[in-house]
Amino acid sequence: MFKLNKSVNIMVVVFCVLFLSACQLQRTAPEESLEQRESALQPKEADSTSILLNEILELANIGMTLGSQINVLESKMEQVKAEWGEPDKLDQAGKGSYATYDGKRVAVGFNEAGEIFDVRSYANSLSELTPAFIKETIGQPDQVRNVNNEEIYVYELNQMIELKFIIPNNSKAVHHLSILNQDRVNVDKTKEVYVLDIKGQSNQLTASAWESMNVWRKQIVAFAKEHENVYINGPNKKQVALTFDDGPDDNVTSAIIDILDKYRVKGNFFFLGSNAETYPDVVIKAYDGGHIVASHSYNHVELTKRSQEEIQTEIEQAGQAIKSIIGKEPAILRTPYGETNKQVAAIAKQEEYSIVLWSIDTLDWSQKEASNIVSNVMQNVRNGDIILMHSDSEKTATVKALPKLIEALQKEKFEIVDLETLLNVKAYQ
C-alpha cells in the first residue's frame, strides 16, 4: 500500500510540473514568437538592401548605375538618343546639359562634345537606403557635402569616378544617385585648350620665396586644366581683365573705381566679406558703376588648410555679406593666396561659384613701385590675360599705376572687359 501511494504521489508531482510548464509556455510563447519573427525578417531585409547597395557599388566602379546601360567612361549622348529618343526635359547646368528621361527614372549629364559625364538614377528601390546603412556597409564617405537642403555622400572610386548618394534633409533615405566622371565634366575635345603660364616678378622676393612661387604657379596651372570651374585666363582673344583683391577700403578702392569710370572700362573687385560689411557704400559704388563685385572669402584664410565645413562657411558668409549690400550673391570666387585644391574646387562648385585666379601677377604687394606694376603687365601681356592687383588701403602705388596701365593696354589694342564677358561665366547667382 505504501509503494502504491508513493507511485501515485510521484505521478501527481510529475503531472503538476508538466501542467505548470505548459501554462508558463502559453504565457511566454507569443512574446518569443514575435522576437523570432522579427529576427527572421531583419536578416532578409538587410540582405535585400545589402544586395542593392553592392550592385550599386559594382556598377559605379565601371561607370554605370541602376536602370541604364549608359557608361560615364565611354557613352555619348547620340547613343542615348538613338536608344531612348528625345528626352522629356533638357536643362543647362554650368557649361554642360542634363537630359531627363522620366520613364527610365534617369537623368543624363553631357558636355559640349556630347560625352556623358553624369548619370543619375531615381529608382524607387533607393528609398531602402539610409545614411546609417550606407556607412555601415561601404564605410565612411570621402566627403559629405551640404547643398540646397540636401546631404550628399561622396565616394571617390577609380578612374575619376564619384559615387554620390543624395539625401534630402527632411528625409531619412536616399532620393537619387549620381555617377560622375570628373575627367569628362565640361570637356570639349574639339577645341584647343588655351591655358597660360603665370607671369610677373619682383626683385624684393628672396630666392626661396621666388622658387616656392614658381612651384605653386606650375601646380595651379596644371590643377586648373583638370577642373572645369577653375580659371587662370580667358580665351585666345585680344581681351584682358583687370582684377583687384582684398578691398574694399575707405580710400584706394574708391580711387580705383573713379579711374576705371574715367577711362570707361570695367573692373573686377574680389571683396572680402568682412571688409564689405565695414564699407558697404564702396561696394555699392563699384556695383552701380557696372563693375563686377566678386568674393574673396569672408576672412582671407587659406582655405586648403580648413575643414569642409569651414570652407563652406567662408564662402557662404562672404556671399551673404555682399548680397545684403547689393541684393545679389556673387558667382565668382578668388581663393585667398590663390590656394585651391580638389576639396575647395568641389565645394565652390556645389555653391555655384567659378574660381577665377590670374595669369599675370603685378606683385603690387611686393615690389610696389608704379613702374614695376606697369612693366609686369606690358612685358608679359597676352590674349586672355587676367591681371592681378589689389585695392586695400596700402596699395597707393596701384592707384598711380592704373591710368598708365590702361593707356598702355589700349595703345596695344587690348579690349579691357569684365570677367563675365571674358570667361562667359555668370557673375551673380
Q: Which residues are catalytic?
A: 245, 390
What are residue 309's phi and psi, to 5 degrees? -65, -40
Report CA torsion sign: 393, 398, 400, 406. negative
DSSP characters for 155-191? EE-STTEEEEEEEETT-SS--EEEEEETTTTT--TTS
Judged on CB neighbours under 10 Å (0-12, 13-18, 19+), 174 is buried
Gap between the Cα atoms of 107 and 76, Å rounded:
14
Q: Output the nine-digit C-alpha cell for 366.
A: 611686393
Q: Compute CA distances 58 → 62, 64, 140, 209, whole Å.
A: 7, 9, 17, 47
> Is the separation of the CB atoms in 360 and 385 below 8 Å?
yes
Closest CA to 331 of 347, 349, 345: 349
Q: Rounded to a whole number, what is the distance in angstroms from the first to the last CA of the chain?
A: 105
